[in-house]
Amino acid sequence: MTVKLFQPYQLKEVTLKNRIVMAPMCMYSVTEKDGKATDFHITHYTTRAVGQVGLIIVEATAVEEQGRISEFDLGIWNDDHIAGLHKIVEQAHQYGAKMGIQLAHAGRKAEVPGSIYGPSAIAFDESSRVPEEMSVEKIKQTIEAFKQGAVRAKQAGFDVLEIHAAHGYLLHEFLSPLSNQRTDEYGGSQENRYRMLSEVIAEVKSVWEGPLMVRVSATDYTEGGLTIEDHVQFAVWMKEQGVDLIDVSSGALVRAAINVYPGYQVKLSEQIKEEANIPTGAVGLITSPLQAEEILQNNRADIIILGRELLRNPYWARGAADELQVEIEAPRQYQRGW
């Protein structure tokens, strides 16, 4: 058997040395509330590069100050953020990892002082603040912020961009009728609700030539919300716009009961991959090398995106190679131990 997990993967012109990807996970570790990367971020991401992860996606990084999930999030809303992000990229590149960054806006789920924004004046839940409904002018400003974030990501040296349109944050809020009850060109029909994400993709692609991924929540798990069928259609449109891969997650727009089990989101990845004919990444309680290999061998996804498992074990790739009987090159400094 040819082990697919350790085969290179071509993402546009970028070659990943294997199909192991680190999911973007908020670290809430900005110390001065200024969005700037710290020594922790450099250590955190470089460790996974040493551990031989093929692609590392830096956590949700806010394109606007009011788009942070918390005051301790990374930012990319001004040029002062570029140097710290570049240092993360530079360090990780030394160990053969490709580097991605997730451009994000928290929308109504932002927990920062001052105004928060959403497509409609509907709170996330009863304990959350009601967002201001965004004017068309504010929507255009935010789309421009995503574009400028892409410019800065390019200047920082990232290989891959991911647009965050999942987990109940701003772009997901526009997509779902549960959170978007607008009556203008950004609300109502499926096409209108897709419009903001469409315009973000178009503006980002006007300044970014590299691989572009979009993370989606493929179901809202709630009656009246988005379904996998909606996301197949969105994926078709994204492919037409030149998106290279869909990172398939689910949920988090509203409080919902979710039956969570190993690989519970893989079937969503598989359906989008097959029906929209676009590469996908599978994520969600994928922990074992055999589980990852089964997903790839059965063409249920093209890459394996690991989150908490890489928090527990930065050297997961080494153990996976041993279990799947594949030889990988150890970092020079670790050859005696590996």
Please give the domain boundaries of the chain with CATH numbers for all domains: 4-324 (3.20.20.70)
Q: What pTM was estimated for this model as a whole?
A: 0.98
| Dihedral sign computed on CA atoms, order 310, 315, 320, 323 | negative
Question: pLDDT tens digits, residue range 47-68?
Answer: 999 999 999 999 999 999 999 9
- Is 106 known to sit in a ligand binding site? no
Q: How confident is the model at residue 1 (pLDDT cuts 50, 70, 90)?
A: confident
Q: What is the DSSP letter of 336?
A: T
- Is 60 known to sit in a ligand binding site? yes
Question: pLDDT tens digits, residue range 202-242?
Answer: 999 999 999 999 999 999 999 999 999 999 999 999 999 99
- Is 95 known to sit in a ligand binding site? no
* Size of the chain in residues: 338
Q: Rounded to an integer, what is the distance from CA 296 to the centroid of its chain? A: 20
DSSP annotation string for 12-32: TTEEESSSEEEPP------SS
- Is 221 known to sit in a ligand binding site? no
- Is 233 known to sit in a ligand binding site? no
- Is 167 known to sit in a ligand binding site? yes
- Is 263 known to sit in a ligand binding site? no
- Is 152 known to sit in a ligand binding site? no
Residues 6+ apart with CB under 8 A from 247: 162, 166, 213, 214, 215, 216, 280, 281, 283, 305
pLDDT at res. 43: 98
Residues in a beta bridge with 218? none
- Is 28 known to sit in a ligand binding site? yes
Q: How confident is the model at residue 79 (pLDDT cuts 50, 70, 90)?
A: very high
Mean pLDDT value across residues 134-152? 98
| Dihedral sign computed on CA atoms, order 140, 144, 145, 146 | positive
Phi, psi angle pair for 324, to nearest 5°: -95, 5
Mean pLDDT value across residues 115-141? 98
Rounded to the nearest 10 degrees, how much is the dihedral formed by the CA atoms of 182, 185, 191, 197? -90
Mean pLDDT value across residues 317-337? 95
- Is 166 known to sit in a ligand binding site? yes
